[in-house]
């Protein structure tokens, strides 16, 4: 009995560390401490679980631990920070797959092998973890494929898609509820598993890469809730606590991401934002004014304040170190440099913060949207690096725009704007950006990393 109390004590300590870890992630300065606390908590939780007497085979556990550590270590070492959204999507898929397998194995063992009748509460927990775990697996994998550009990132839609999706989910939910009433219907259980996997694919299929921050947060929430249900099913308190923390924090984060885009979750899930067939609003007249590296370097070198606005293009060009080198060259000349961070810039929450942190950009130089916008009129030059919708003034000025009402970084209010783009095409959403046609905007075409490197060299010589 004493042993059981010690195990529960380890679970309590692990849960406290998870809470402190989550609290630490609320600010960049304490994020590293939060991650370390959560990692220690997980290690304690694993040790506490291994001390239980229900362990079937320590050999298999050790083999799994070694294999998982090798895979995780290799991914962490070789995967670049620019691919962090894909890495996160895979983590969600692996975590949800573990929860699904536990639920399926538990049902198979008790109902199919031993022909036992599960209590209603246990069948509810098993069904919930399999239902949400399965759809999270395929949904996260599809998000990975889109982010990795193994398939097109724009929404894939067809007629009646939302009706089919909802019908699939309702069918899976009805089967889930019936299984609570009669858990012995194994055939229905397998049908629910298949429908859940299929629904995860169809759920993410019509969602474009521009909405991936919300999708990632939702997948995180689903994986957490599936883990919590696993805890109820197998009687593991630390899984219940950790899964609930993960599930609800992910849901809250998805709400915040939607608020940052001035959109609802239903619009994200069923609106197919980024579809090439959607109305792109009013046509923009004028021409884009192309500028050269030498001219931009002179503007930057003699400015008082420069604001960099990173977007997904920064990640694809892997230009985070180049922008830091340019910033250091400007600071050496006495120019004040700031970085404007939009909440949904990139493909996952905090994507730009992670990239800039890798380049050792100080946290004090990062400014959120609400902090930087009041300073835009006093900014001499704003440099937009691979961002589109988050600086599109149509969101503010055109009520008919598909992104109307979305908070933006108001770079158009600065004295001069330099936009780094590969070409003259539109951004991911398919919306034309009036910013690019304004008289105070100059377009610097080419690879962002190469352009920033040339600018840093030119500024040093100016």
Question: How is residue 165 written in tokens?
Answer: 């999706």
DSSP three-state, residue 318:
coil
Residue 235 or 460, more confident: 460
Find, among 200, 167, 19, the residue nearest to 96 by Cα: 200
Question: Is 389 labeled as catalytic in the residue annotation?
Answer: yes
pLDDT of residue 123 exceeding 90, the answer is yes
**DSSP code of 25?**
T
Report pLDDT for 1. 41
Report pLDDT for 307. 96
**25: in domain:** yes
Model confidence at 165, pLDDT cuts 50, 70, 90, reads confident
Report pLDDT for 333. 92
pLDDT of residue 110 exceeding 50, the answer is yes
Q: What is the mean pLDDT of residues 27-33?
A: 78
Q: What is the mean pLDDT of residues 305-312?
A: 93
Q: Are residues 369 and 326 in the same domain?
A: yes
**62: in domain:** yes
Which position has the token pair 């506490």? 48
Q: What is the mean pLDDT of residues 182-208?
A: 91
- Tell me the average pLDDT of the chain: 85
Q: 347 is in which domain, residue-wise?
A: 293-461
pLDDT of residue 278 exceeding 60, the answer is no
Q: Are residues 74 and 99 in the same domain?
A: no
Find, among 231, 253, 230, the residue nearest to 132 by Cα: 230
**278: in domain:** no
Model confidence at 101, pLDDT cuts 50, 70, 90, reads very high
Cβ neighbours for 173, distance < 8 A, ≥ 6 positions apart? 131
Q: Are residues 37 and 170 in the same domain?
A: no
Nearest 5 degrees, angle CA 22-CA 243-CA 67? 95
Q: Identify the domain boundary among 78, 112, 133.
A: 78
**Active-site residue among 211, 246, 389, 412?**
389
CA atoms within 13 Å, Cβ hemisphere of 140:
27
Q: Are residues 255 and 331 in the same domain?
A: no
Report pLDDT for 163. 87
pLDDT of residue 230 exceeding 80, the answer is yes
**111: in domain:** yes
Q: Identify the domain boundary among 21, 47, 78.
A: 78
Model confidence at 267, pLDDT cuts 50, 70, 90, reads low
**345: in domain:** yes
Q: Are residues 321 and 434 in the same domain?
A: yes
Q: Identify the domain boundary among 32, 47, 78.
A: 78
**143: in domain:** yes
CATH of the domain at 454: 3.40.50.1220
**101: in domain:** yes
Question: How is residue 117 written in tokens?
Answer: 């009748």
Report pLDDT for 277. 42
How many domains does the chain contain in total?
3
Report pLDDT for 270. 63
**DSSP code of 111?**
I
Q: Are residues 225 and 342 in the same domain?
A: no
Q: Are residues 70 and 116 in the same domain?
A: no
Q: If 0-12 CB within 10 Å is exposed, 13-18 middle and 19+ buried, where does residue 170 land?
A: exposed
Residue 175 or 343, more confident: 175
**119: in domain:** yes
Q: What is the mean pLDDT of residues 56-69?
A: 85
Q: Are residues 334 and 247 in the same domain?
A: no
Helix residue spans in 347-412 (DSSP H): 351-358, 369-372, 394-397
Q: How far is CA 336 from the centre of its chain?
A: 31
Residue 163 · residue 106 · CB < 8 Å: no
DSSP three-state, residue 396:
helix
Find, among 263, 147, 127, the residue nearest to 216 by Cα: 147
Q: Are residues 174 and 30 in the same domain?
A: no
pLDDT of residue 379 exceeding 90, the answer is yes
Q: Are residues 206 and 179 in the same domain?
A: yes
- Percentage of the chain beyond pLDDT 70 is 90
Q: What is the mean pLDDT of residues 258-266?
A: 72
pTM above 0.95, yes or no: no
- Percentage of the chain beyond pLDDT 90 is 36
Q: Are residues 73 and 99 in the same domain?
A: no
Handedness of CA 59, 65, 70, 71 (dihedral sign): positive
**Alpha carbons 243 and 238: distance in angstroms, whole number:** 8
How does pLDDT run across 383-432, given as a tens digit for each residue?
999 888 889 998 888 888 877 788 899 999 999 999 998 866 665 556 78
Q: Are residues 351 and 423 in the same domain?
A: yes
How does pLDDT run across 211-223, given as a tens digit for each residue?
777 788 888 888 8
Task: Provide the β-strand partners of residue 366.
Answer: 339
């Amino acid at each position: 009995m004493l042993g059981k109390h010690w195990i529960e004590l380890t679970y309590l300590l692990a849960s406290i560390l998870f809470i402190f870890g989550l609290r630490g992630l609320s600010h960049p300065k304490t994020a590293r401490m939060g991650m370390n606390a959560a990692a220690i908590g997980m290690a304690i939780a694993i040790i506490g679980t291994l001390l239980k007497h229900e362990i079937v085979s320590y050999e298999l556990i050790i083999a799994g631990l070694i294999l998982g550590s090798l895979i995780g270590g290799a991914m962490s070492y070789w995967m670049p920070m620019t691919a962090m959204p894909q890495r996160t999507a895979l983590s969600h898929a692996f975590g949800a797959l573990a929860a699904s397998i536990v639920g399926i194995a538990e049902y198979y063992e008790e109902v199919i092998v031993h022909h036992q009748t599960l209590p209603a509460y246990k069948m509810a927990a098993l069904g919930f973890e399999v239902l949400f775990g399965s759809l999270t697996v395929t949904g996260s994998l599809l998000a990975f494929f889109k982010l990795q550009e193994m398939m097109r990132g724009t929404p894939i839609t067809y007629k009646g898609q939302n009706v089919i999706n909802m019908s699939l989910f309702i069918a899976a939910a009805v089967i889930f509820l019936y299984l609570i009433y009669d858990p012995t219907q194994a055939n229905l259980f397998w049908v629910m598993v298949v429908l859940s996997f299929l629904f995860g694919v169809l759920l993410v299929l019509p969602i474009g890469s521009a909405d991936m921050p919300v999708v990632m947060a939702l997948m995180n929430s689903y994986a957490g809730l599936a883990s919590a249900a696993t805890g109820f099913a197998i009687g593991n308190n630390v899984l219940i606590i950790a899964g609930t923390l993960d599930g609800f924090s992910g849901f809250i984060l998805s709400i915040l991401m939607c608020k940052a885009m001035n959109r609802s979750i239903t619009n994200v899930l069923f609106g197919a934002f980024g579809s090439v067939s959607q109305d792109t609003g009013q046509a923009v007249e004028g021409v884009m004014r192309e500028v050269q590296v030498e001219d931009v370097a002179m503007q930057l070198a003699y400015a008082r304040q420069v604001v960099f606005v990173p977007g997904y293009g920064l990640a694809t060009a892997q230009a985070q170190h180049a922008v830091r080198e340019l910033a250091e060259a400007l600071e050496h000349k006495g120019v004040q440099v700031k970085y404007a961070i939009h909440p949904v810039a990139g493909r996952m929450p905090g994507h730009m913060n992670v990239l800039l942190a890798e380049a050792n950009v100080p946290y004090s130089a990062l400014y959120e949207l609400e902090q930087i916008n009041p300073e835009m009129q006093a900014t001499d030059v704003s440099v937009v690096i691979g961002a589109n919708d988050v600086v599109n003034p149509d969101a503010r000025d055109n009520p008919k725009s598909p992104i109307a009402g979305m908070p933006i970084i108001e770079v158009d209010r600065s004295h001069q704007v330099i936009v780094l783009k590969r070409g003259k095409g539109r951004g991911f959403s398919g919306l034309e950006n009036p910013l690019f046609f304004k008289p105070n905007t100059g377009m610097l075409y080419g690879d962002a990393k190469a352009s920033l490197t040339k600018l840093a060299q030119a500024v040093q010589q100016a």
